[in-house]
């Protein structure tokens, strides 16, 4: 915490120095969403290059002055929280003055900019994300406040903890981990008792694009258990994008890649080649939208696809057919096809890439 306080004090000292010299104070932040600031490394995924390009948030420019003021406001809130050892969620910060901040996304963006500027992970700033992910299966752990959480015995999932760093005493006999894109599929597998039927496993869903806590938990479990991690996504560009976030990270959070990515993640399904192999009826598939085509083309150009020839092939199949499918399409074969046939066969015979 002294590192955090010192980092904030340094920023404020620079502001005061500028004022003393009758200059307009400026905050310098990385251009987080610029692909040119990111390099791909097999062992880490997407990470920010050491000499990244920056942008200046000036206090004397009408367009950036409000952002400058909000950054100082949030820095002062972080400083107080670290001093008093209290925590707040991003939502708490937004609701402390909704008129001032204007929207939740403004707060989220500024917090990420501050984290990147100070080179301090967000959880060390005493800001917690609101968690939306779920975890279930063969896992027991203790939360920071001493609460023992048992994910094994319930037919209902447990919410991913909001302070993943604080969890300890992880116990699991799981043979693998399954990341499920959608909540509906996750619940269905839970109802079918998938976590116990085949062999003990842990299931996690970020319910779409994963939040920070879900990604941190996947990484923590991988660090602790070193078991295979498979992903179950829709066979569409959006599903591929989500899987890439778990495996390689995202451009905007590349400055935290070391804590968030799990490069060993495997693509289990739904593979575009599975649709042909299983003779899924054409009328059960969904035609691409313009947006799907654009997203797929952008994914195909990314640096990590070049070193994944099997993925490349699957994306080419998808691009050629211009058709996508949700995991639920498997119910057209039989209502429990996913848990009874598809997943057991894939896991037993190595049907992942």
- Residue-wise pLDDT tens digits, 311-331: 999 999 999 999 999 998 888
Euclidean distance between CA atoms 26 and 30, whole angstroms? 13
Euclidean distance between CA atoms 46 and 37, whole angstroms? 10
Range of the domain at 332: 134-349
Do 247 and 119 belong to one domain? no
Q: How do residues 244-266 score in pLDDT, each as one tens digit?
A: 999 988 877 777 777 788 888 99
pTM attached to this predicted model: 0.79
Phi/psi of residue 48, each to 5°? -70, 135
| pLDDT confidence tier of residue 153, bands split at 50, 70 and 90 | low
Instruction: Report, as an integer, the average pLDDT of 185-207.
Output: 88
Burial of 250 (0-12, 13-18, 19+ CB in 10 A): buried
Please identify, among 128, 161, 191, the residue that sits at the C-terminal boundary of a domain.
128
In the three-class reduction of DSSP (H, G, I as helix; E, B as strand; rest coil), residue 225 is classed as helix
Q: At what angle do helices 212-225 and 237-248 cross, to 10 degrees?
A: 60
Q: What was the pLDDT predicted at 335? A: 83
List the CATH number of the domain containing 144: 3.40.1360.10
| pLDDT confidence tier of residue 154, bands split at 50, 70 and 90 | low
Euclidean distance between CA atoms 175 and 199, whole angstroms? 7
Do 233 and 283 belong to one domain? yes
Do 120 and 215 belong to one domain? no
Q: What was the pLDDT predicted at 273? A: 92
Do 108 and 163 belong to one domain? no
Do 186 and 110 belong to one domain? no
| pLDDT confidence tier of residue 152, bands split at 50, 70 and 90 | confident
| pLDDT confidence tier of residue 203, bands split at 50, 70 and 90 | very high
> What percent of the chain shows pLDDT beyond 70?
99
The mean pLDDT of the chain is 87
Instruction: Report, as an integer, the average pLDDT of 127-152.
Output: 87
Do 171 and 242 belong to one domain? yes
User: Is 342 annotated as catalytic?
Assistant: no
Do 175 and 67 belong to one domain? no
Euclidean distance between CA atoms 153 and 156, whole angstroms? 9
User: Look-up: residue for tokens 């150009």?
Assistant: 301
Residues ≥6 apart with Cβ < 8 Å to 230? 176, 177, 178, 179, 265, 266, 267, 268, 347, 352
Please identify, among 128, 149, 178, the residue that sits at the C-terminal boundary of a domain.
128
- Token code pair at residue 255: 């400055």
| pLDDT confidence tier of residue 46, bands split at 50, 70 and 90 | confident
- Token code pair at residue 342: 């598809």
List the CATH number of the domain containing 34: 1.10.10.10
Do 88 and 221 belong to one domain? no
Q: What was the pLDDT predicted at 243? A: 93
Do 57 and 102 belong to one domain? yes
Do 41 and 9 belong to one domain? yes
CB atoms < 10 A from the CB of 10, how many? Answer: 10
Catalytic one of 87, 95, 141, 342: 95
Query: Is the pLDDT reported for residue 234 higher than 90?
Result: yes
Do 56 and 163 belong to one domain? no
Lowest mean pLDDT among 17-26, 43-52, 199-208, 343-352: 43-52
Burial of 202 (0-12, 13-18, 19+ CB in 10 A): buried
Q: How do residues 91-124 score in pLDDT, each as one tens digit?
A: 888 888 888 898 898 998 899 889 888 888 877 8
Q: What was the pLDDT predicted at 127? A: 86
Do 206 and 309 belong to one domain? yes
Please identify, among 65, 100, 128, the residue that sits at the C-terminal boundary of a domain.
128
Is there a contact between 123 and 78 (Cβ–Cβ < 8 Å)? no
- Token code pair at residue 42: 């097999």
Number of folded domains in the chain? 2
> What percent of the chain shows pLDDT beyond 90?
35
């Amino acid at each position: 915490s002294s590192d955090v306080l010192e980092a904030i004090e340094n920023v404020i000292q620079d502001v005061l120095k500028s004022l003393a010299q009758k200059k307009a104070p400026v905050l310098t932040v990385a251009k987080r969403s610029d692909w040119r600031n990111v390099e791909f490394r097999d062992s880490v995924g997407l990470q920010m290059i050491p000499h990244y390009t920056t942008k200046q948030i000036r206090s004397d420019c009408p367009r950036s002055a409000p952002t400058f003021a909000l950054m100082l406001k949030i820095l002062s809130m972080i400083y107080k929280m670290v001093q008093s050892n209290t925590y707040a969620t991003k939502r708490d910060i937004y609701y402390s003055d909704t008129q001032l901040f204007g929207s939740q996304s403004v707060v989220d963006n500024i917090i990420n900019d501050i984290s990147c500027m100070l080179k301090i992970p967000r959880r060390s700033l005493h800001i917690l994300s609101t968690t939306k992910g779920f975890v279930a299966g063969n896992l027991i752990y203790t939360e920071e406040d001493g609460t023992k959480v048992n994910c094994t015995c319930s037919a209902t999932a447990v919410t991913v903890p909001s302070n993943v760093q604080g969890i300890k005493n992880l116990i699991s006999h799981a043979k693998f981990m399954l990341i499920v894109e959608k909540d509906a599929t996750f619940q269905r597998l839970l109802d079918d008792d998938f976590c116990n039927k085949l062999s003990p496993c842990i299931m996690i869903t970020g319910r779409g694009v994963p939040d920070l806590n879900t990604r941190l938990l996947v990484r923590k479990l991988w660090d602790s258990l070193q078991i295979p991690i498979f992903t179950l996504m829709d066979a569409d560009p959006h599903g591929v994008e989500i899987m890439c976030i778990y495996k390689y990270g995202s451009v905007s959070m590349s400055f935290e890649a070391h804590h968030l990515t799990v490069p060993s993640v495997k693509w289990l399904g739904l593979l575009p080649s599975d649709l042909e192999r299983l003779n899924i009826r054409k009328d059960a598939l969904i035609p691409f939208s313009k947006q799907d085509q654009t997203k797929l083309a952008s994914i195909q150009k990314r640096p990590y696809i070049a070193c994944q020839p099997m993925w490349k092939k699957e994306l080419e199949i998808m691009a050629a057919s211009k058709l996508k499918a949700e995991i639920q399409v498997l119910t057209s074969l039989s209502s429990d096809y996913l848990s009874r046939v598809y997943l057991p066969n894939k896991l037993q015979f190595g049907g992942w890439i």
